[in-house]
Chain A
Amino acid sequence: MMQMPPPDPSVLSRRQAITDALNAALPGAVIQDPAETRAYECDALSAYRCAPLAVVLPRSTDEVSRLLRLCHELRVPVVPRGAGTSLAGGSMPTADAVVIGLSRMTDVLEISAPDRQIRVQAGRTNLSVSGAVEGLGFFYAPDPSSQLACAIGGNIAMNSGGAHCLKYGVTTNNLLGVTLVLMDGSVVELGGPMGEGPGLDLLGVVCGSEGQLGIVTEATLRILPRPAGARPALIGFDKAETAGACVAAIIRAGIIPVAIEFMDSPCIKATEAFAHAGYPDCEALLIVEVEGTPPEIDEQLALIRDIAMRFDPVEFRESGSDDESRRIWLGRKSAFGAMGQMGDYICLDGTIPVTALPRVLAGIGDLSRQYGLAVANVFHAGDGNMHPLIIYDANAPGDLDRAEDLGADILRLCVEVGGCLTGEHGVGIEKRDLMSVQFDPADLEAQMRVKDAFDPHWLLNAAKVFPLDVSAPRRDRRLNRTPHAA
């Protein structure tokens, strides 16, 4: 079980004064009734919950600035929240924290087709960014699977990816600038044309800093011309290793598809039972999607077919129509829903070098048997970002702990083969205490020094990302300070 530090008693004892001050600063934007703050007590890592001291929903950069200045003066911890879809507990509150939510900040501020960029308030959902530029023939490339709900501000905090980042990159590669409000309420513009500011790449380190350096209120995003079309092929194999080798061969041949998705046998069986996509009954399945005009797509798929045939697939199915494309994607897109039918699950997010795929799949199989818990694999094979799903029963005593221990062992395996703990979900509280598996003390110290520069009192989302014992001296330093008079 993840632990959270005990709430700061000097904050809890001032609860009324703090909520009064928040209400005075931003009338109508504060939620403090326990029945209503409950909606904010967790994010998508719903096994962990804690109601915050209060929730505030500002409408502008200026309002966020006023709120943070106030919380800074009162030395009240703040937890930023986009849409609350974090799978890592990135926006889980603490009892002594004010949640600042972005859900009322959804405006489009500017669209420029000649500059291929859009500027939005950070509470706007990922999919509605693409929606705003669709009529101009553009789209916003990062496409996390929660894209219907997740907010751009959360995407920036976690440096979110998606299924198509093999070609288009993740959030950091598509982010040109942000308005960032620091914990003391000061407002800074980072980035610039091509994402480049005049000095250090502060934008680059803010992206992926999990809401620990400041609150992003506005973002300028790179938009791309929508490709003429896209079509997938489905390839089935009787061995997972062969599927892995086929992925390597496609990349080695100089083809970078927009997506290469991998599903293993437990995952294929579950999705077939759930979604009836008509997948072959086999050990491993790849969905490879390419983009372009019809002749370009034909040319790429022909090459992929030639390569795949060298690996003796049990099936090669090339989509010839939109309906066939939809059917090929149907199972993959239903995978998480199908897993939900099998039981409760933990979704891991480690990345491995693609060359280590056979070893890691075998290792996961061994661990699964050892713990007596089923694991299904569905992931982005082109970039090595795995999503093993550990199936458990939340009502069985001890099952969650066992599932978490199995997850930790799988992530240790990812690090051991040269990979990392998280490819796109973020560390949050979920992987916080595993950080020392991947990083030496000096590596973590260097990262915490960045937070020291942006948030010297460690008030912003402080109990996340770094192992609690590692960040304790910095967090405790704050507790020893007496609050300023407001």
Chain B
Amino acid sequence: MPPEIMRPETEGQLADLIRGAIAPLSITGGGTRPWPGEGGGTHLDMTALTGVTLYEPEALTLVVRAGTPLETVRQTLAAEGQMLAFEPVGRDGSTIGGVAATNASGPRRVQAGAARDAMIGVRFVDGQGEVIRNGGRVMKNVTGYDLVKLMAGSRGRLGALTEISFRTAPLPPVTLTLALPDLDAAAAIPALSSALGGPYDVSGAAWLPGQGALIRLEGLAASVTSRAADLTDRLQAHGAVTEGNPQAWLLLCPNTQDPQADIWRITCRPSEAPAVLSHLPEPLSLDWGGALIHVRLPADQIPDLPHFSGHARRIRGAAPALHPAADPLTARLERDLRAQFDPRGLFGGDA
């Protein structure tokens, strides 16, 4: 049976719907980033809340309603020579609210930060139907608690985002990708760390099967050329350096709608990545210098990993799984916060 859907057209309608709700809700944008266990209850479809509220390119500021398609945002910014620096991967239907609520961040995170770093303001409706504003439209703002960060990546568990302010960034005039095609995933890690550890302003450090280690440089032409030459010298010790495929950066985030097998997302310190990788089949990709691993595993298998400082999560498959489990104190704080913002437990999802 298809889920019941509610589709508010204004923030006021959304607040009324939440205030009147008596059963669990799933706040949904384009539905392009679901995790196992999410999506139960009535769908609160946010895609009618669209539109750019404010865009000031000279102030690097964009304010946009949550249901606005990511593609619209991208085109709006590109028309003024700008972008979202955190480089969210989008699929058909992806909304900017979904990007914010999942903290969806691409390769440029190593240089420019994540979605949460570019988010400078939010409006949202909490579980009592109350409209709450936090942050604003300026990038330097420490007035009161930073609920913007709390909402970023909260996956609809505290409230429904209605509007988000972003810091934008100029599109780089020149992009160059270097590759070390001979390196396997584990051997790529020290090469990526070396590149990120030097004064080259690296804007992407990744690995893909068949393409090897990938390093991206962006900026003004003369600058990219000189950094590429210096970096190539530095990386020779790790293997042959060639020019890489500039399209590779689009392939780093696996499509979780692919029903073939379970997909796991693992974060770790890059120095821990080789040990983690030694317990896994060849990964689908590495990103963020090795701090992010995506790997396909047989259905329902839990990977047997050595101790490491991050976590592993099944992001595609039948059942939710997180390894190691959250510690009891963190779990208590999250439960208490959710009880504060959603005392009726409407925004279920146990991810």
Query: Cβ of A252 and Cβ of B57 under 8 Å apart?
Result: yes
Query: Cβ of A173 and Cβ of B117 under 8 Å apart?
Result: yes
Query: Cβ of A384 and Cβ of B138 under 8 Å apart?
Result: yes
Chain A residues with CB below 8 A from B331, complex form: 199
Give the residue name and chain of the A residue nearest to B60 (CB): A251
Is B284 at the interface (CB under 8 A from chain A)? no
Query: Cβ of B337 and Cβ of A114 under 8 Å apart?
Result: no
Q: How far is the CB of A444 from chain B (nearest CB, A)?
A: 7
Query: Cβ of A354 and Cβ of B58 under 8 Å apart?
Result: yes
Is B142 at the interface (CB under 8 A from chain A)? yes
Query: Cβ of B222 and Cβ of A169 under 8 Å apart?
Result: no
Provide the bound-state CA to CA distance between A3 and B261, in Å. 62
Query: Cβ of A431 and Cβ of B143 under 8 Å apart?
Result: yes
Query: Cβ of A426 and Cβ of B142 under 8 Å apart?
Result: yes
Query: Cβ of A256 and Cβ of B169 under 8 Å apart?
Result: yes
B188-231 vs A, Cβ < 8 Å mask (1 yes, 0 no): 00100100111111000000000000000001101100110010
Is B322 at the interface (CB under 8 A from chain A)? yes
Chain A residues with CB below 8 A from B271, complex form: 112, 114-115
Q: How far is the CB of B199 from chain A (nearest CB, A)?
A: 5
Provide the bound-state CA to CA distance between A7 and B190, in Å. 57
Is A472 at the interface (CB under 8 A from chain B)? no
Give the residue name and chain of the A residue nearest to B142 (CB): A159
Provide the bound-state CA to CA distance between A445 and B339, in Å. 14
Q: How far is the CB of B187 from chain A (nearest CB, A)?
A: 14
Is A420 at the interface (CB under 8 A from chain B)? yes
Provide the bound-state CA to CA distance between A48 and B310, in Å. 44
Q: Considering the complex, which residues of chain A in the window 3-30 have a beta carbon less than 8 Å from any beta carbon of chain B?
A: none
Among candidates A188, A196, A254, A439, residue contacting B144 with C-beta atoms closer than 8 Å? A439
Beyond A202-B334, A295-B223, A354-B58, is A137–B173 a contact (Cβ under 8 Å)? no
Query: Cβ of A205 and Cβ of B220 under 8 Å apart?
Result: no
Among candidates A193, A198, A203, A352, residue contacting B326 with C-beta atoms closer than 8 Å? A198
Query: Cβ of A205 and Cβ of B150 under 8 Å apart?
Result: yes
Is A353 at the interface (CB under 8 A from chain B)? yes
Provide the bound-state CA to CA distance between A195 and B115, in Å. 12
Is B130 at the interface (CB under 8 A from chain A)? yes
Chain B CB within 10 Å, residue with most, of A117, A189, A201? A201
Query: Cβ of B333 and Cβ of A449 under 8 Å apart?
Result: no
Is A383 at the interface (CB under 8 A from chain B)? yes
Beyond A169-B113, A172-B149, A446-B132, is A226–B140 a contact (Cβ under 8 Å)? no
Chain A CB within 10 Å, residue with most, of B132, B171, B292, B333? B333
Chain B residues with CB below 8 A from A253, complex form: 170
Among candidates A172, A188, A193, A422, residue contacting B146 with C-beta atoms closer than 8 Å? A172
Give the residue name and chain of the B residue nearest to A228 (CB): B199
Q: How far is the CB of A420 from chain B (nearest CB, A)?
A: 4
Interface residues on A, range: 35 or more
Query: Cβ of B61 and Cβ of A446 under 8 Å apart?
Result: no
Q: Considering the complex, which residues of chain A in the window 151-173 have a beta carbon less than 8 Å from any beta carbon of chain B?
A: 158-159, 161, 165, 169-170, 172-173
Provide the bound-state CA to CA distance between A182 and B327, in Å. 15
Is A204 at the interface (CB under 8 A from chain B)? yes
Query: Cβ of A423 and Cβ of B140 under 8 Å apart?
Result: yes
Interface of B is mostly: mixed
Chain A residues with CB below 8 A from B134, complex form: 443, 446-447
Query: Cβ of A194 and Cβ of B288 under 8 Å apart?
Result: yes
Query: Cβ of A355 and Cβ of B142 under 8 Å apart?
Result: no
Chain A residues with CB below 8 A from B131, complex form: 442
Query: Cβ of B149 and Cβ of A419 under 8 Å apart?
Result: no
Is A293 at the interface (CB under 8 A from chain B)? yes
Query: Cβ of B56 and Cβ of A380 under 8 Å apart?
Result: no
Among candidates A169, A295, A355, residue contacting B226 with C-beta atoms closer than 8 Å? A295
Query: Cβ of B133 and Cβ of A254 under 8 Å apart?
Result: no
Query: Cβ of A188 and Cβ of B333 under 8 Å apart?
Result: yes
Query: Cβ of B137 and Cβ of A115 under 8 Å apart?
Result: no
Q: Which of B152-160, B178-186, B251-259 faces chain A?
A: B152-160
Is A323 at the interface (CB under 8 A from chain B)? no
Is A469 at the interface (CB under 8 A from chain B)? no
Query: Cβ of A173 and Cβ of B220 under 8 Å apart?
Result: no
Chain B residues with CB below 8 A from A116, complex form: 193, 196-197
Q: Considering the complex, which residues of chain B in the window 223-267 have a beta carbon less than 8 Å from any beta carbon of chain A?
A: 223, 226-227, 230, 267
Is A418 at the interface (CB under 8 A from chain B)? yes
Provide the bound-state CA to CA distance between A158 and B336, in Å. 24
Provide the bound-state CA to CA distance between A254 and B148, in Å. 26
Chain A residues with CB below 8 A from B60, complex form: 251
Chain A residues with CB below 8 A from B144, complex form: 427, 435, 438-439, 443-444, 447, 465
Query: Cβ of A194 and Cβ of B199 under 8 Å apart?
Result: no
Q: How far is the CB of B216 from chain A (nearest CB, A)?
A: 16
Q: Considering the complex, which residues of chain B in the window 28-64 have a beta carbon less than 8 Å from any beta carbon of chain A?
A: 56-61
A250-278 vs B, Cβ < 8 Å mask (1 yes, 0 no): 01111110000000000000000000000
Among candidates B56, B137, B141, B146, residue contacting A423 with C-beta atoms closer than 8 Å? B141
Chain A CB within 10 Å, residue with most, of B58, B153, B341? B58
Among candidates B140, B150, B157, B219, residue contacting A385 with C-beta atoms closer than 8 Å? B140
Query: Cβ of A225 and Cβ of B198 under 8 Å apart?
Result: yes
Query: Cβ of A418 and Cβ of B150 under 8 Å apart?
Result: no
A224-246 vs B, Cβ < 8 Å mask (1 yes, 0 no): 01111000000000000000000
Beyond A353-B59, A443-B132, A450-B340, is A204–B169 a contact (Cβ under 8 Å)? no
Query: Cβ of A193 and Cβ of B309 under 8 Å apart?
Result: yes
Chain A residues with CB below 8 A from B337, complex form: 200, 202, 449-450, 453
Query: Cβ of B59 and Cβ of A115 under 8 Å apart?
Result: no
Beyond A188-B329, A188-B330, is A252–B143 a contact (Cβ under 8 Å)? no
Provide the bound-state CA to CA distance between A411 and B303, in Å. 54
Query: Cβ of A200 and Cβ of B154 under 8 Å apart?
Result: yes
Provide the bound-state CA to CA distance between A352 and B169, in Å. 18
Is A336 at the interface (CB under 8 A from chain B)? no
Beyond A169-B113, A190-B330, is A208–B145 a contact (Cβ under 8 Å)? yes
Query: Cβ of B133 and Cβ of A293 under 8 Å apart?
Result: no
Provide the bound-state CA to CA distance between A453 and B341, in Å. 10
Beyond A228-B199, A443-B133, A450-B145, is A353–B61 a contact (Cβ under 8 Å)? yes
Chain A residues with CB below 8 A from B114, complex form: 194-196
Query: Cβ of A199 and Cβ of B222 under 8 Å apart?
Result: no
Which chain B residues have a beta carbon within 8 Å of chain A's beta carbons? Answer: 56-61, 81, 103, 109, 113-114, 116-117, 126, 130-134, 136-150, 152-154, 157-158, 169-173, 190, 193, 196-201, 219-220, 222-223, 226-227, 230, 267-271, 288, 291-292, 309-311, 313, 322, 326-327, 329-331, 333-334, 336-337, 339-341
12 pairs, A vs B, C-beta closer than 8 Å: A114-B190, A158-B142, A161-B140, A202-B150, A251-B170, A293-B230, A354-B59, A418-B136, A418-B138, A447-B147, A450-B145, A450-B340
- In the complex, besides A201-B103, A435-B144, 4 extra interface pairs with C-beta distance below 8 angstroms are A253-B170, A355-B59, A418-B138, A422-B142
Closest 3 interchain pairs by CB? Answer: A204-B149, A254-B170, A248-B58
